Amino acid sequence: MTVDLTVDLGGLKLRNPVMPASGCFGFGREYSEYYSLDTLGAVVVKATTLKPRLGNPTPRVTEVTGGMLNAIGLANPGLSKVLTEELPWLERQNVPIFVNVAGDTVEDYCSVVDEVCRSGLAQAIELNVSCPNVELGGLAFGVNSSVLRGLVEEVRKVCTLPLYVKLSPNVTRIQDLAVAAASGGADGLSLINTLVGMQIDLATRKPALANKTGGLSGPAIKPVAVRMVYEVAREVNLPIIGMGGICSGRDAAEFIMAGAWAVEVGTANFTDPYACPRIVAELKSFMEAEGIKNLEEIRGCAL
C-alpha cells in the first residue's frame, strides 16, 4: 500500500510532517553530516534575536529522569549572521525553513520578522513567546492573553510569511492563549514549549543549573503535550504543530490523532542524531501496518 505523508500547512507544502524543534538542531549543519536534510518535512532553526546573545551562564543543561532541563538563554549569533551565513547555507539543502524568532520587546520581534521576510530565505516564522517582555517587568509574552494578542497583531503587520505562534505550557489554560494568538492573526500554532522545572545537585546542595530553573523536555512531558494539543485543537481552527517528548513514529501518530498537522522533534535529537528520519520511517511503517493511506485519515480522530 502506498502511504502519503505529505502535509499542506495552509498552503505550505511539506513532504512529511516531521521537523526538528527549535534549539535542538542548531541551523542544521551538524546533522547534515549524518543525513540529507531534504528527508525532513522542514527545519525549524535556533531562536534568532536582533543582536547576538551568549545565553545564560553554565551549567545550563542537566539530565533528569525522562528527559533534560535546559536554560540555554536563547544563545544565537544574531540576525545579521543568521541572514548572511546560516540561512543561505540551509536554503541550499532543499528543505522548507521555519525561523524561530525571539525578542525582549515588541519592536525586537517586528524588526527580526520584517528582515527575515524581506530576505526571501525562509518559508515560515515561528514566534517564540516564552521570552520575558522587558517593558512589562519580565512577564513572558506568552502567559497573558492580551499581551500575546497585542504582540501577534503587531508582528502580523510586517509578516508576509505564514506565522506560527509557539505556545508556552506554563499557563492555567493554554486554550485561552491559543485563542488570543488566533485573534491576533496567527496562521497556525506550535505547542508545547518546555515546562519549568528544577533539579538539586545533591553534592553541592544547590540547583544543578546556574539559572536555578530550566525548561523540562523529553519523554516525561509527552502526556502533558498531547493533552494540550488535544485541548487547543478543540477550540481553535488553525493548523497545529505538536511537540513534547516525541521519540518514535507512534508518538508522532498520537499527536496527529490529537489534532496536530505536523510534529517537531526536540530532545530525541540529542540521544539519536538520526531521530528525525527514523521517526519519518516509523510513522510510514505504522500507517502501512494499520492500513492508513494518508494523514488526513487520522488527523484529529481522537477529538
List, for residues 64-82, the tens digit of each pLDDT value. Answer: 999 999 999 999 999 999 9
Crossing angle for the helix pair 174-184 and 145-158, to the nearest 10 degrees? 30
Residue 247 and residue 275 in contact, taking contact as beta carbons nearer than 8 Å: yes
The per-residue pLDDT for 10 is 87
What amino acid positions are annotated as catalytic residues? 131
If DSSP codes are grouped into helix, strand and coil, which group holds residue 223? helix
Residue 10 and residue 162 in contact, taking contact as beta carbons nearer than 8 Å: yes
Is pLDDT at 221 greater than 70 in this prediction?
Answer: yes
Residue 60 and residue 71 in contact, taking contact as beta carbons nearer than 8 Å: yes
Strand order through the sheet with 18-20: 18-20, 262-265, 240-243, 188-191, 163-166, 124-128, 97-101, 43-44
Residue whose cell numbers read 551565513: 85
Is pTM beyond 0.95 here?
Answer: yes
Q: Summarize pLDDT for 223-237 with one digit per residue, the tens.
A: 999 999 999 999 999
